[in-house]
Structure 1
């Protein structure tokens, strides 16, 4: 939340931002608005030293507009006391309103309503006048004020036989309109309404598990409010008219409530604080989980209890609670409690320096699966208990004692890096060689037989020919770190692993994850369909009217695309083209873009069981590449798509727009080949470490002219404008590390990653890269 306060009137303007860097755009919009409304110029701006206020663009804008900048001295927020105190006042009021209304998630609405009330409340700083009175010169009107979070019945017209009222929650006051802002829990949407019946004595969420429709309007008096009719509460010459609610509206409120009241308390929600855990039904299980965590912390000698030295600042901490479902229905749910430090309060250069920690790449995991399937290796899994506690801190950190245990390393910014450094040194000391191509891949040869270990933070995959070798490695690791043996690998990073040892096949799927995504976006009961082949998306379909913007503001577009993107990255190369398409409009999606996302969700509804099948054949690393010239309707850039397989199953894939505009199909194909070539060089090195195979990689392309360009400089006059960096592929081909081969368009699986193709062709391409349904 960005708050801008006018120092003269103390009127506060709240802006709710998606990112901090949006503060500049919000300030520009505010400046234009106030200067037009007051016919006065903004002269001085006082802020702290946050980067959102000190960017080059912000400073340049203020210089051009002649705005004098006042910055606070670092670590002295009192120099901007008006803004700092206002923020605290807003948060305090919002917290009280949310508590009174038993609401916990609508903090922005509560803060906005708090600002509305502050602007209409007397202030000592302006001689007990109200900010709106000083700002506008007219007295404030209190007749429209209502209790935040109370029950409200909005008049609706959904058809002749439908109820005329919807039971809602009062959230605040509309901006620029004469209406109230309401939230409809049934439709999960906000709305603005002019004709509303308020029950200010009842909070919507209070006692919601026991309320019935019989005791809503009858138990308390209600008030009908129409914004076109003004009340005058200060008048004393005659008593105010007693308003009676329209009987028809009250009866329809009863019917509407009886039909729509189906919301239940989510008793299975994970507690967000220590207090919530202690009053939940699973109190004993959470307490046991916390005791386990404290024992691990003490066992690892994580801290010493000391008095805080003078001049030192303690990092605060909190409990994080999580239920972990078993990999199969027969396994019980695990309760985990983690004590984490609030690392955001650490100071760079004092409390930490480097924070980066590598994790194993998904391509490396799939490449290992290909090797495991081809050679029918053993594949098992380990989990490091309290992994970050094993790292050795290089800095001196002080932390407050945790709630409930008057006594972490989790949560500190440098924790992941310190853990990786400790584990890496241990593996090197035990004879393992770190991969040159992936820092989290370790290989060791025992009697000529390799042992592979892949690390993703605290999850490990171990593959070897002999179970004895794996058992020895587990014993070695357990002697240095506290480990949990998970046995045969079944699930990692949301990907489910199953095997058919008789046929030397390994299957990788995300059925559970996809089902959760479908339920999250209420698409689990939708009709399934084939992947869309008719969508033509462009920026011209972005919202252009206020109603469109209002509609899309309620759509979880970014969340849905992000959830689908993870499925594509892990195990679903068939989603590559569709995700490349819808992800271009994350900043400003329109209705057509959302329809495309829903179409993808319906496609997943019918293919949630689809999986990658490793071990279909004994082929090594093979690549396929394709391009679609000028595929982007907005900037006319071409699309690159490539996929690499091991044993006939995809291990690496990508679909992305090219960085430059190609002037011909040949140029687009040549750029695509170059992009695929860079991935091929990296994969070839990794695959050689895994299997010892150093043979040339075949990269199949369906453009004969692009293939010729990779070998010599034919058509120089027509191709000399192509950037020199794309000719890197010629060096790789000349060295014999890569061979670009011709393939028919009909047999090129990368075709589905660059364009919409018919269903039959799409299914053929999917099968060629090992996707089975």
Structure 2
């Protein structure tokens, strides 16, 4: 559903005054001002006023507000569930019972002026295809627009977004490139990573050179576009399943940053076999060993798993003894053993919180061999065979529109 003139609906509690607009002046009282009773576009209170009006209305209709996500509302009727997700004036809703969807749409339209958009197919540049085997999430239309925008729609196709031997560094010997164009390309690609996890590491690496981009950096960015040219229809498949087991994978590339010698953390989280979150980020501190780098990466993954655990409770899904897969035995032992080691005493104390959750049985950190470490794709550039192997296991497939 799309709400018409959403910011004009909300009521404001504060005293707000506006001067008389041109063409509507009171000739007898030219120095007077108007006091607002309802919100207006451009008023900083308008978004909050609209949200308060909508949330109060839904709560009156026996909906429950999410404890983690305040824009999520849930209503349970016997064995059926109705979920509403709000994004400003756009509302997505779904239910296990089609009649509940019809009822809520009628109730909402009676209260607010709304237009029904039908089945969810397109949302902020992200396309959704609902099929028998599951739901496809992709950005093929956005990808084609990007290639055309940067005049790369006729470029040569590449198999991977970055060659496995690529070494990016700061250099004064090469010519500078247009910083505005380079930043525009990076910004556009970052939005694409909402569904294209396969380019996340490459884009994040190139983003480190936005302050002073050189010709070699632009060449690497163009290779990402050349890879996208051959994979415009690639997207994520979310298979139908009753498996709601939450689990995560974490990995680290020790001293992967050749400039500051910092490590890169990568992690991803699944519900069952469906990938729901992924991240690639350079660590803030310099790790002195692979164990420390992996331990920090595991702590980052743990924070995301805990957030997902509480988020899932809003959907009435409970998670306990959450598996966290790591391919470094030293990091695993470090998370389970509270004894202070001389090699670990320099690790920032904020990363040691993972020990507490392992001890309480909320997180269960386990070993996984490097061959089945899916987070590997978020820490380094991979050869084409390894790259395609991981993509397949992350449920990335070409979408037939």
Q: TM-score, normalised by structure 1?
A: 0.47
1:442 equivalent in structure 2: 73
**Pairing 1:356-755 to 2, within 5 Å after superposition:** 382-393=1-12, 394=14, 395-398=16-19, 400=21, 409-501=40-132, 503=133, 505-531=134-160, 532-533=162-163, 534-540=165-171, 543=172, 548-549=175-176, 552-553=177-178, 556-568=181-193, 570-615=194-239, 617-620=241-244, 621-713=246-338, 716-755=341-380
The answer to whether the Cα contact below 8 Å between 2:81 and 2:97 also exists between their aligned partners in 1 is: no
Flag the structure with more relative contact order, 1 or 2, with Cα contacts below 8 A and sequence separation at least 6. 2
Stretches of structure 2 lacking an aligned partner (at least 5 in a row): 24-38
Asked if the contact 1:530–1:759 (Cα under 8 Å) also holds between the matched residues in 2, the reply is: yes
CA contact (8 A) 2:179 2:211 kept: no
C-alpha change, 1:398 and 1:648, in structure 2 (3 Å) is: farther
Q: Give the Å deviation of 1:399.
A: 6.5
Distance 1:430 1:535, change over 3 A: same
1 CA distance for matches of 2:19 and 2:394? 52
User: What TM-score results when the alignment is normalised by the length of structure 2?
Assistant: 0.90
Q: Distance in 2 between matches of 1:455 and 1:536?
A: 43
How far is 1:696 from its partner? 2.4
CA contact (8 A) 2:252 2:293 kept: yes
Give the conservation status (yes or no) of the 8 Å contact 2:179–2:210: no
Distance, in Å, in 1 between the alignment partners of 2:20 and 2:76 is 44
Q: Is the 8 A contact 1:749 1:764 kept in 2?
A: no
Bigger CA radius of gyration: 1
Q: Relative to 1, partners in 2 of residues 1:415 and 1:654: Cα closer, same or farther, differing over 3 Å?
A: same
1:44-59 map, 5 Å: none
Which residue in 2 is equivalent to 1:108? none
Asked if 1:768 corresponds to 2:399, the answer is: no
1:173-252 counterparts in 2 under 5 A?
none
RMSD: 1.8
Q: Distance in 2 between matches of 1:431 and 1:646?
A: 28
Question: 2: CA distance between counterparts of 1:492 and 1:615?
Answer: 20
Q: 1:633 to 1:616 in 2, by over 3 A?
A: farther
Q: How does 1:43-82 map to 2 (within 5 A)?
A: none
CA distance in 1, matches of 2:131, 2:122: 16
User: Is the contact between residue 615 and residue 647 of structure 1 (CA under 8 Å) also seen in structure 2?
Assistant: no
Distance 1:526 1:658, change over 3 A: same
String of CA shifts for 1:379-437, please: whole Å, max 9, x gaps: xxx111122121223322346359xxxxx822333322222222222222222222121
Q: In 2 relative to 1, CA 455–588 (structure 1 residues): closer, same or farther, beyond 3 Å?
A: same
Aligned residue pairs total 378
Q: Is the 8 A contact 1:669 1:703 kept in 2?
A: yes
Q: Which moved more, 1:415-424 or 1:668-677?
A: 415-424
Residue 32 of structure 2 is matched in structure 1 by none
Tell me the alpha carbon deviations over residues 433-477 of structure 1, each in whole angstroms, 9 at most, x when there is no partner. 221211211111112322111111111111211111111111121
Q: Determine helix, strand or coil for the equivalent of 1:619.
A: coil
Deviations 1:185-209 (A, max 9, x none): xxxxxxxxxxxxxxxxxxxxxxxxx
Q: Secondary structure at the match of 1:587?
A: coil
Unaligned runs of 5+ in 1: 1-381, 403-407
CA-to-partner distance for each residue in 1:35-71, whole Å, 9 max, x for gaps? Answer: xxxxxxxxxxxxxxxxxxxxxxxxxxxxxxxxxxxxx
Moved over 6 A (4+): none
